[in-house]
Chains A and B, each alone.
Chain A
């Protein structure tokens, strides 16, 4: 390892982190020093600042992608256009979450904690940036922790509700437990390879055989990240936390946190443990994917609470995202995975947007309350239906394209055997199971002819804006092939390995 002098120019490699930090500081100062009567503008301000950051990311990506290709801190931190694109995808999701949460943040209950929500959210996002960019496990752990711990506080924001506390306690305990296991695995890895740099680990594992300790180490690392992704069997916290957390936090948790963790998982497995692909983690992941998709689907069928329902649906969606990891960082698969995350953000946030609006207006959260919704609130029902169709992978909505591409990506490795075809077949059959429960929602809204308990109401401007954006994404992201093609160009130009 060459010695690199630390100077301030190193920090300039972290363009997006710096941008995010500036947003954070502005929000923090605004929250702390401005009088209470101007605080109502805070949600809008945060959303606008994040939007600016997102636009800057896109502009950089389009105009000068090579300037995004930087390393810092002796290779601990790496940024490439691919990674920057993923961060921008996360930013897009954050902007939508922020828009959708304006109403909730400005409710009288949140008046005292409005700032906390935004500050904690930005800190966790910062942690996710580090997770994605880290090439050294020390930095990765810093990112992982700062992405997990503040989330527990966010889950507990709804402090008058018992479920919110319960969820927060469950979340923090499992988070701490899983990071402990993760770090145990890291100590094994360090003992085996003598380094925590991804590329050093890769080099040390080259040609080395598989031994028991390595298996345990890898299993511990996988379970640590698997917790963030809520892969089965590390998913047990998911439903309770999703249900207990305020809806805005749930939607953030379900898409942004999952997207970041999925990509970080890919980077770790490919760059640090790439040598063990065929021997170890291909099969680990193979089993995990089957378990995750199947169990998530089977549990989702029985759920009546919409948030629990989407929790299990998101468990199984994480399994589909993992299909992008299993082909060992092949460019098409990586692009398909990033595209899947993008589409998943839009689809899931559309669903959560509807749920949030209905919850705010009527307090109803059960699928049975949605019976006959089309007659009272036709627009919300259509938005929900599009979200369900997109999550289920029905054309011409974006979810169809992302599912098709992630399956194609999983089979993209040359000479891929029938085992992988069987995996994809299992995943495909599972999409039918998932279609069943997504259709249950559609059935409740459109076909059931009960008198709907949810009165007609007009959703607020911010909720409508959020839904319009997500619906536009659901319809446009797939048909406009630009997004997927551009991601492919990026991943082909800047491959992970």
Chain B
């Protein structure tokens, strides 16, 4: 087990927790050092994993998952294993998580009570990393919940605004989703094998393909809604704007950037991968809901004046697009969905980081109370414009490739229902342009609203480091999409789609 590189995605955060736990409360330098070294180690590890993974794929390893280790038994009576393994999607997600944790560490450089803050933040990321490396439903679910609960204290203690309300709402709604999820997972377990050798292992369950269709129709909505709550699916998205608006910067980054991806990833990996028949049969219900998310979120973003609310609703819209694309059940759209997860994760983290930096200077997030910031803090202003362009899908940045892929994939369906909904979802691109340009115009250009703002300074080195890292990543996806497509494409092996009775169309 310990020779498997994946396990260190959990071991390193645990060591970080221990290290920070040993630090003195007042010794901010030591706490920062542990956080930076640890997140840098994770970033390095995920880079090595990426290289190694690509190497193995190039050498012809074409199993669905690589680095698989599923021999360690944890709870023998229920056949629960500590099973780990990754495919291209998980590698991409691990990469994304470590980038955002790394930048988030720098974004919370000056936080109050740093010891407690970093303890919770790293506990959260332990859950995230553990979730992405697990291929055992039990450990996957456990890490999922580990990732959710620190949010309560992170928002409650370090948040702003109506933080008590938002923290409680977010926690209860997400845990409510996981209640459905838990039932779905137990149901999957009890129908995982026809011969009585029940298992929690995703690969085995998919290979067995033993879940009766009637049960699939019961369990699919459970798991899809369970993960869909975290993916901000309408009408379960209401935790997201409040939660993000109240959360401190690094938490918003990690939550919108990574945690919401747990939802999309889980919907794909558990709901659709394990129950394809029900997915094909029931997808229309969820397509309607996610279609509403996409358009409704974008419209909401148009009328909000709080920067964080705007970005949170924009996240609802973009994450809705992820689930929307997954439900299209073809390779192209799903590839687009994964691209969109990466793209949205990076650019929303960039947005929240920038909003946090602007708020730290102007002490307001109301766009009506700011103006002309481009003259005062040009670096942050330019970064904000870049993030906005990525969000509205400018070619060369990540948003364009992912949304393009999604809509091409969606339009491959020849029937009226799918096409109409694709067109409806496409409208969100225009609406996105409206709210992005509105913010950019009001916030960055135009006359300076407040004389006091003239004395503000531009970004510090740690802020520059975190924004530039994210911009590079956003541009990398936009300029070299094929690299990522090749990385994740192997996952959509024809087997899943043969079950669905569909053809896997290459891009």
Inter-chain contact A432/B172, CB cutoff 8 Å: yes
Asked whether A446 and B168 contact (CB < 8 A) given A407-B186, A429-B176, A481-B75, the answer is no
Asked whether A404 and B182 contact (CB < 8 A) given A394-B149, A442-B153, the answer is yes
Inter-chain contact B175/A408, CB cutoff 8 Å: no
* B 155-167 to A, binary, CB cutoff 8 A, 1 in contact else 0: 0110000011001
Q: CA of A416 to CA of B215 in the docked complex: distance in angstroms?
A: 12
* B 133-170 to A, binary, CB cutoff 8 A, 1 in contact else 0: 00000100111011001001100110000011001100
Interface segment out of the listed A119-127, A196-204, A417-425: A417-425
- Chain B residues within 8 Å of A443, by CB: 156, 164, 168
Inter-chain contact B182/A407, CB cutoff 8 Å: yes
B183 at the interface (CB under 8 A from A): yes
A358 at the interface (CB under 8 A from B): no
| CB closest residue in chain B, given A479 | B74
Q: CA of A230 to CA of B163 in the docked complex: distance in angstroms?
A: 37
Q: CA of A412 to CA of B191 in the docked complex: distance in angstroms?
A: 11
A389 at the interface (CB under 8 A from B): yes
Inter-chain contact B183/A421, CB cutoff 8 Å: yes
Min C-beta distance of A294 to chain B, whole Å: 14
Inter-chain contact B183/A424, CB cutoff 8 Å: yes
B480 at the interface (CB under 8 A from A): no
Our pick among B78, B156, B172 for the contact of A446 (Cβ within 8 Å) is B156
Our pick among B77, B143, B149, B189 for the contact of A485 (Cβ within 8 Å) is B77
Q: CA of A408 to CA of B156 in the docked complex: distance in angstroms?
A: 33
Inter-chain contact A332/B77, CB cutoff 8 Å: yes
Instruction: Output the residue of A335, A418, A428, A488 with the most chain B CB within 10 A.
Output: A428
Q: CA of A389 to CA of B148 in the docked complex: distance in angstroms?
A: 12
Inter-chain contact A405/B78, CB cutoff 8 Å: yes
Inter-chain contact B218/A395, CB cutoff 8 Å: no
A58 at the interface (CB under 8 A from B): no
Inter-chain contact B187/A421, CB cutoff 8 Å: yes
Inter-chain contact A439/B78, CB cutoff 8 Å: no
Q: CA of A447 to CA of B165 in the docked complex: distance in angstroms?
A: 12
B171 at the interface (CB under 8 A from A): yes
| CB closest residue in chain B, given A385 | B153
B445 at the interface (CB under 8 A from A): no
Residues of chain B in range 208-232 having any CB-CB distance to chain A below 8 Å: 218
- Give the size range of B's interface with the partner: 20 to 34
* A 477-489 to B, binary, CB cutoff 8 A, 1 in contact else 0: 0000100110011
Q: CA of A412 to CA of B160 in the docked complex: distance in angstroms?
A: 46
- Give the size range of A's interface with the partner: 35 or more
Q: CA of A418 to CA of B167 in the docked complex: distance in angstroms?
A: 34
| CB closest residue in chain A, given B174 | A432
B179 at the interface (CB under 8 A from A): yes
B359 at the interface (CB under 8 A from A): no
| CB closest residue in chain B, given A332 | B77
B180 at the interface (CB under 8 A from A): yes
- Chain A residues within 8 Å of B75, by CB: 405, 481, 484-485
Residues of chain B in range 48-97 having any CB-CB distance to chain A below 8 Å: 74-78, 80
- Chain A residues within 8 Å of B80, by CB: 481
- Chain A residues within 8 Å of B164, by CB: 443, 447
Q: CA of A412 to CA of B156 in the docked complex: distance in angstroms?
A: 39
Q: CA of A443 to CA of B183 in the docked complex: distance in angstroms?
A: 28
- Chain B residues within 8 Å of A39, by CB: none
Inter-chain contact A408/B172, CB cutoff 8 Å: no
Inter-chain contact B190/A447, CB cutoff 8 Å: no
Our pick among A412, A416, A447, A481 for the contact of B153 (Cβ within 8 Å) is A447
Inter-chain contact A400/B142, CB cutoff 8 Å: yes
Asked whether A436 and B153 contact (CB < 8 A) given A396-B146, A429-B179, A443-B164, the answer is no
| CB closest residue in chain A, given B80 | A481
Min C-beta distance of A170 to chain B, whole Å: 34
| CB closest residue in chain A, given B123 | A396
Residues of chain A in range 114-167 having any CB-CB distance to chain B below 8 Å: none
- Chain B residues within 8 Å of A348, by CB: none
Asked whether A432 and B175 contact (CB < 8 A) given A421-B183, A421-B218, the answer is yes
Residues of chain A in range 388-419 having any CB-CB distance to chain B below 8 Å: 389, 394-396, 400, 404-405, 407-408, 411-412, 416, 418
Inter-chain contact A446/B145, CB cutoff 8 Å: no
- Chain A residues within 8 Å of B190, by CB: 411-412, 416
Inter-chain contact A481/B74, CB cutoff 8 Å: yes
Inter-chain contact A432/B157, CB cutoff 8 Å: no
Our pick among A395, A400, A411, A447 for the contact of B157 (Cβ within 8 Å) is A447
Q: CA of A488 to CA of B75 in the docked complex: distance in angstroms?
A: 10
Asked whether A435 and B153 contact (CB < 8 A) given A408-B186, A418-B218, A429-B179, the answer is no
Q: CA of A389 to CA of B171 in the docked complex: distance in angstroms?
A: 13
Our pick among B167, B171, B218 for the contact of A435 (Cβ within 8 Å) is B171
Asked whether A425 and B145 contact (CB < 8 A) given A407-B186, A446-B156, A485-B77, the answer is no
Q: CA of A400 to CA of B146 in the docked complex: distance in angstroms?
A: 10
Asked whether A484 and B77 contact (CB < 8 A) given A436-B172, A446-B157, the answer is yes
Min C-beta distance of A86 to chain B, whole Å: 17
Our pick among B78, B143, B157 for the contact of A408 (Cβ within 8 Å) is B78
Q: CA of A400 to CA of B179 in the docked complex: distance in angstroms?
A: 12
Min C-beta distance of A210 to chain B, whole Å: 29
Min C-beta distance of A410 to chain B, whole Å: 9
Inter-chain contact B153/A335, CB cutoff 8 Å: no
* A 27-70 to B, binary, CB cutoff 8 A, 1 in contact else 0: 00000000000000000000000000000000000000000000
Our pick among B76, B78, B168 for the contact of A436 (Cβ within 8 Å) is B168
Min C-beta distance of A492 to chain B, whole Å: 8
Instruction: Output the residue of A395, A400, A405, A485 with the most chain B CB within 10 A.
Output: A395
- Chain A residues within 8 Å of B149, by CB: 389, 394
Q: CA of A492 to CA of B78 in the docked complex: distance in angstroms?
A: 12
Q: CA of A436 to CA of B165 in the docked complex: distance in angstroms?
A: 12
A431 at the interface (CB under 8 A from B): yes
Min C-beta distance of B94 to chain A, whole Å: 20
Min C-beta distance of A104 to chain B, whole Å: 32
Min C-beta distance of B130 to chain A, whole Å: 10
Q: CA of A432 to CA of B138 in the docked complex: distance in angstroms?
A: 19
Inter-chain contact A428/B182, CB cutoff 8 Å: yes
Our pick among A389, A442, A488 for the contact of B77 (Cβ within 8 Å) is A488
Instruction: Output the residue of B77, B138, B143 with the most chain A CB within 10 A.
Output: B77
Inter-chain contact A332/B183, CB cutoff 8 Å: no
Inter-chain contact B179/A425, CB cutoff 8 Å: yes
Min C-beta distance of A416 to chain B, whole Å: 8
Q: CA of A395 to CA of B74 in the docked complex: distance in angstroms?
A: 15
Inter-chain contact A439/B183, CB cutoff 8 Å: no
Inter-chain contact A396/B142, CB cutoff 8 Å: yes
- Chain B residues within 8 Å of A425, by CB: 179-180, 183
- Chain B residues within 8 Å of A481, by CB: 74-76, 80
Q: CA of A442 to CA of B152 in the docked complex: distance in angstroms?
A: 10
Our pick among A396, A447, A492 for the contact of B156 (Cβ within 8 Å) is A447
Residues of chain A in range 291-317 having any CB-CB distance to chain B below 8 Å: none
- Chain B residues within 8 Å of A431, by CB: 175, 179
Q: CA of A395 to CA of B146 in the docked complex: distance in angstroms?
A: 6
Asked whether A395 and B183 contact (CB < 8 A) given A436-B168, A442-B152, A488-B77, the answer is no
Q: CA of A415 to CA of B163 in the docked complex: distance in angstroms?
A: 46
Min C-beta distance of B21 to chain A, whole Å: 11
Residues of chain B in range 122-136 having any CB-CB distance to chain A below 8 Å: none
Q: CA of A481 to CA of B72 in the docked complex: distance in angstroms?
A: 12
Inter-chain contact A432/B187, CB cutoff 8 Å: no
Q: CA of A488 to CA of B149 in the docked complex: distance in angstroms?
A: 30
- Chain B residues within 8 Å of A332, by CB: 77-78
CB-CB nearest 4 A-B residue pairs: A488-B77, A428-B179, A447-B156, A395-B142
Q: Can you offer 23 A-B residue contacts whose CB atoms are under 8 A? A: A394-B145, A395-B145, A395-B146, A404-B138, A404-B141, A405-B78, A407-B186, A408-B186, A411-B186, A411-B190, A416-B190, A421-B187, A421-B218, A424-B186, A431-B179, A435-B171, A436-B172, A446-B156, A446-B157, A447-B153, A447-B163, A484-B75, A492-B77
Additional A-B contact list (12), CB under 8 Å, known A435-B171, A485-B76: A394-B145, A395-B145, A395-B146, A404-B138, A405-B78, A407-B186, A411-B187, A447-B157, A481-B80, A484-B77, A485-B77, A488-B77
